[in-house]
Amino acid sequence: MDNGASSYRRFLDGDDYGMEELIRDYKDGLVLYLNSYLNDFSSAEDCVQDTFIKLAVKKPKYRGGSSFKTWLYTIGRNTALSYLRKRKRKNDILIDECRMIAAEADLERDYLKEERKITVRKAIRRLKTEYQQVLYLTYFEEFSYAEAAEVMKKSGKQIENLLYNARKALRSELEKDGDSYEEL
């Protein structure tokens, strides 16, 4: 048996100093090795700590099929791989949560937008017919002033004036209901 195996055997027999020897002899090399997997020195140190905790708590059996160092580094590597899998799942969950939050925000924004449209349409229905028509054509149908003028059989200047007065009347209607619509 090499030195690590004898230290581990002593630890299993109740000598805590055996574990201290293992940590002292193998910790630094194991950290460097696991850092090559994780590319994060802090995470490598955490995995090394977890590896030695596994030895201390679970007390796996060393069968001697390979050197003690090989056996220990295999446990460390498996610990690091488990860490990577957990981190990937957490990242996947975080990405999914971000997507869900963004989708919820989009739904909420769309809902509020639709509610605002309903409020504005109700207020428009209370306006004079000409105001309703010019607002409907320019805002909801996105007609240009020239197109709206052609449909309503008015001049471009008349549409501008009509639209100005219609916005003013709409703003007044919305304020009566306690709403405001800054985009008008």
* pTM of the model as a whole: 0.50
CA separation for the pair 44, 101 (Å, rounded): 32
Termini Cα distance of the chain: 86
pLDDT number for residue 1 = 46
For the segment 136-169, what is each residue's pLDDT rounded down to a tens digit? 788 877 888 888 888 888 888 998 999 999 899 9
What SS3 state is found at 180? coil
Residue 62 in this model has a pLDDT that exceeds 50: yes
Are 130 and 161 within 8 A, CB to CB?
no
| CA dihedral of residues 89, 93, 99, 101 (deg, nearest 10) | -160
Domains and CATH numbers, the chain: 3-94 (1.10.1740.10), 126-176 (1.10.10.10)
For the segment 96-120, what is each residue's pLDDT rounded down to a tens digit? 666 766 677 777 787 788 888 788 8
3-state secondary structure 132-178: HHHHHHHHHCCCCHHHHHHHHCCCHHHHHHHHHHHHHHHHHHHHHCC
With tokens 């090399």, the residue in question is 29
CA separation for the pair 166, 137 (Å, rounded): 12
SS3 content of the chain, % helix, strand, coil (to 5): 80, 0, 20
CA separation for the pair 115, 147 (Å, rounded): 28
Per the structure block, which two tokens stand in for 93? 């969950």
What's the mean pLDDT when you consider all of the chain?
A: 84
CA separation for the pair 127, 132 (Å, rounded): 6
DSSP letter at 61 equals: P
